[in-house]
A and B are shown apart, each in its own frame.
Chain A
């Protein structure tokens, strides 16, 4: 079993089923990566590095984007 904390919520994956990279995670969530900003364990990850940034059990990832606001 593996766990990723996604936007503050612990998400459980079966053994070896944690998405390999941020890009894979976004694909599995059905989220368009072009507008997403990611922070992995408190470190900002540039969008260009989404396909090469590997995910490991126990990490915390924040996925944010621009939303309407004043």
Chain B
């Protein structure tokens, strides 16, 4: 498959995977491996000093995967910037999945705070991948300040509803000059394939894999769907029509007419 390029870095996989909600770190590590993903999102939280086995991510090989820290939990630009600076200072990772979600019910991203944070972080040298509503104008504004991607949501985080914002995502894809990653809400491999067929550059999946009855198998399902969708996009879809168009010859039937 053709390579995904984000901020001049090449990736063989167009599936990004989140590490939340897995039943164990073992299942998580196996699912990440099976997905073929090379970009893996993580969150930053206080250490649970009462739990010696708190380090769930020990199972992820940090040399093999690009860890993409998110700013989940941030409700304002300032909080997101603080989290990003903390992460970079301590780990050297300057990639950030920027998410500013003040509304706990739908976890929809705040466009004003997201743009504000993106502007600050890009100036400070971060590679910013912002999670946004499917808003074509916001996408343009973010690209203008220098984000490395835009990541419109298909539907609310963890809802598994699929692509509810199709028309707006199509406009974003049409106008984007950075990779478009459809993030959030994709519940089935068919949703991921749909995003890729539309011309999205990549998708980010977490809940649909992590909470499947068999996460490792589902990771494979998404891997194949992303590849299929990308190949379909690159192949140029055949025309749709309202009426049937016979695939077999309409002559030489074995009857007398």
Q: Are B90 and A63 in contact (CB under 8 A)?
A: no
Q: Are A65 and B41 in contact (CB under 8 A)?
A: no
Q: Are A6 and B49 in contact (CB under 8 A)?
A: yes
Question: Which one of B45, B157, B158 lies within 8 Å of A67 (CB-CB)?
Answer: B45
Which one of B5-13, B67-75, B141-149, B168-176 contacts A?
Answer: B67-75
Whether, in the assembled complex, A35 has its beta carbon less than 8 Å from a beta carbon of chain B, the answer is yes
Query: How many angstroms from the CA of A37 to the CA of B55 in the assembled complex?
Result: 13
Question: Which one of A44, A63, A68 lies within 8 Å of B42 (CB-CB)?
Answer: A68
The bracket for how many chain B residues form the interface is 35 or more
Q: Are B20 and A69 in contact (CB under 8 A)?
A: yes
Whether, in the assembled complex, B54 has its beta carbon less than 8 Å from a beta carbon of chain A, the answer is yes
Q: Are B49 and A69 in contact (CB under 8 A)?
A: no
Query: How many angstroms from the CA of A38 to the CA of B86 in the assembled complex?
Result: 8
Q: Are A69 and B72 in contact (CB under 8 A)?
A: yes
Q: Are B46 and A68 in contact (CB under 8 A)?
A: no
Q: Are A69 and B70 in contact (CB under 8 A)?
A: yes
Residues of B within 8 A of A44 (CB): 85-86, 89-90
Residues of B within 8 A of A70 (CB): 18-21, 41, 43, 70, 72, 157-158, 184, 204, 206-207
Which residues of B pack against A, CB within 8 Å?
Answer: 18-22, 25, 28, 41-47, 49, 52, 54-58, 67, 69-70, 72, 85-87, 89-91, 157-158, 184, 204, 206-207
Which residues of A pack against B, CB within 8 Å?
Answer: 6-8, 29-32, 35-39, 44, 46-47, 62-70
